[in-house]
């Protein structure tokens, strides 16, 4: 027994109402934890009365044996109780009535820049969007990393600044404050290094504790499924979505989920500045069809959850209203929406290897390539290159000719090209002309 664990056991036996080892044994033996045991566990771990080794063992027991709905709800509530809760009840519409709030959370993917056009689009219709976002890790991109490629833009806002911007502009995309569900930050860091990230009860409570503590009135979940997603299997993604919807509803947050395809990257870019560029195309009424389709569908869901049923989000993209809100939102956070975006110093083209129809473009491979080019990070403290990434020139369904440009790789450090191309060696499948890729962008809706 390590000194740290021995000290923790001594604290448990002398001053604590429960013993961490007894808690571990309950889940190891497929039992259910009581509300009191869960409350104590989260509180004790947050303040250091449970050692990392002990919480790692408990996390593994939860991964292997699961939790029932009551346990997951209490675990989530305990993580919320570890910190502050935001309150948007002071937000008002022009007529003096309560301004509704609606938020979106994506479980992460490749080329997933949807938050950027979505937040200002929903705000067009008088619904406030408090979008607390994160940074990328590994092959999945981070919303804050993308926005930080805009000169002057800042991610960190105080609660007072968030509230003021929601009242004035209607939308904010920023980093979550340190006081929001601090237990989750500590637990996630431990799960990340102990092979327990995939535990559905822990994923669901991690996401929903922050979203419920954020104080939004309604929430739409974009649960990705496929090679570039956290959840590769549709059945497990569905289980995660259903668990999170139940947690939201139990907490009084109107919650729905969409299962969406992440076998293929969203849009034609995977990176930071180039995804902002593509988002601006969408806000200007253009952009790739899949990005527009998902942005509009999620906007419809967010507005419906907030009680707005007569809106036309597609029209607000076409006529410039969403772009107007975007410009105000970026300016409110110190950014210059008219400034030129960073451009990578080096580029290299990947060519189509054969004639035929592109039927598969693997999202994971593209995400790893973008990561290796400098668009992502291996550790949270790593820096990213604003201009790095992958620009795609074709999506599944396109007719290709051998030697045509298929992708352009972008980076400031050309020594990265070799490993990025290694990641792309089996990224594409080209079939004879007449073949059709099997693609569904939106797989299902769960409410």
Positions marked active-site: 105, 184, 191, 206, 210
Question: Distance between CA atoms of 103 and 119, rounded to whole angstroms?
Answer: 8
Q: What 3-state DSSP class applies to 422?
A: helix
**By the 8 A CB rule, do 167 and 110 touch?**
no
Nearest to 277 by CA among 170, 104, 149, 370: 149
Is residue 217 classed exposed, middle or buried when 0-12, 13-18 and 19+ CB atoms within 10 A define those classes? buried
Enumerate the H helices of 268-312 as residue ranges. Answer: 273-283, 289-305
Question: Distance between CA atoms of 309 and 100, rounded to whole angstroms?
Answer: 13
Nearest to 228 by CA among 392, 436, 344: 392
What torsion, rounded to 10 degrees, do the Cα atoms 119, 121, 127, 132 define? 0
Question: Distance between CA atoms of 165 and 188, rounded to whole angstroms?
Answer: 29
- How many residues can be counted in the chain? 447
What torsion, rounded to 10 degrees, do the Cα atoms 278, 279, 284, 286 define? 50
Is residue 310 classed exposed, middle or buried when 0-12, 13-18 and 19+ CB atoms within 10 A define those classes? exposed
- Strand 442-446's sheet: what is its strand order? 102-106, 218-225, 254-261, 442-446
Residue the block writes with tokens 């969406």: 260
């Amino acid at each position: 027994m390590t000194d740290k664990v021995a000290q923790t056991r001594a604290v448990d036996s002398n001053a604590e109402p429960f013993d961490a080892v007894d808690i571990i044994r309950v889940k190891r033996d497929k039992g259910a934890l009581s509300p009191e045991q869960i409350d104590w566990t989260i509180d004790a771990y947050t303040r250091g009365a449970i050692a990392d080794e002990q919480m790692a063992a408990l996390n593994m027991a939860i991964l292997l044996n699961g939790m029932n709905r009551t346990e997951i709800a209490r675990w989530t509530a305990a993580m919320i109780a570890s910190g502050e809760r935001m309150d948007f009840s002071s937000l008002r519409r022009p007529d003096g009535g309560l301004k509704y709030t609606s938020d979106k959370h994506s479980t992460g993917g490749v080329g997933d820049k949807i938050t950027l056009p979505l937040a200002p689009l929903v705000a067009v219709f008088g619904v406030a969007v408090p979008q607390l976002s994160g940074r990328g890790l590994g092959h999945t991109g981070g919303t804050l990393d993308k926005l930080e490629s805009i000169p002057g833009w800042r991610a960190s806002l105080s609660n007072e600044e968030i509230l003021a911007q929601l009242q004035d502009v209607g939308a904010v995309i920023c980093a979550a404050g340190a006081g929001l569900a601090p237990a989750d930050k500590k637990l996630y860091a431990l799960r990340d290094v102990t092979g327990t990230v995939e535990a559905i009860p822990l994923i669901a409570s991690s996401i929903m504790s922050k979203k419920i503590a954020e104080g939004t009135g309604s929430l739409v979940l974009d649960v990705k499924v496929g090679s570039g997603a956290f959840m590769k299997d549709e059945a497990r993604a569905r289980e995660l979505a259903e668990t999170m919807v139940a947690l939201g509803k139990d907490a009084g947050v109107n919650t729905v989920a969409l299962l969406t395809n992440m076998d293929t990257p969203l849009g034609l870019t995977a990176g930071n500045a180039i995804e902002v560029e593509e988002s601006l195309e969408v806000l200007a009424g253009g952009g790739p069809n899949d990005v527009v389709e998902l942005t509009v569908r999620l906007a419809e869901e967010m507005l419906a959850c907030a009680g707005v049923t007569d809106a036309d989000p597609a029209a607000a993209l076409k006529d410039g209203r969403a772009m107007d809100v975007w410009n105000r939102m970026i300016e409110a956070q110190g950014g210059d929406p008219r400034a030129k975006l960073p451009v990578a110093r080096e580029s290299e083209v990947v060519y189509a290897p054969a004639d035929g129809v592109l039927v598969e473009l693997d999202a994971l491979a593209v995400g790893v390539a973008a990561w290796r080019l400098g668009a992502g990070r291996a550790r949270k403290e790593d820096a990213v290159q604003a201009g790095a990434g992958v620009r795609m020139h074709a999506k599944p369904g396109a007719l290709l000719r051998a030697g045509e440009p298929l992708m352009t790789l972008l980076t400031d450090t050309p020594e990265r090209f070799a490993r990025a191309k290694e990641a792309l060696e089996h990224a594409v499948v080209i079939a004879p002309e007449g073949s059709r890729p099997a693609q569904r962008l939106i797989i299902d809706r769960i409410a």
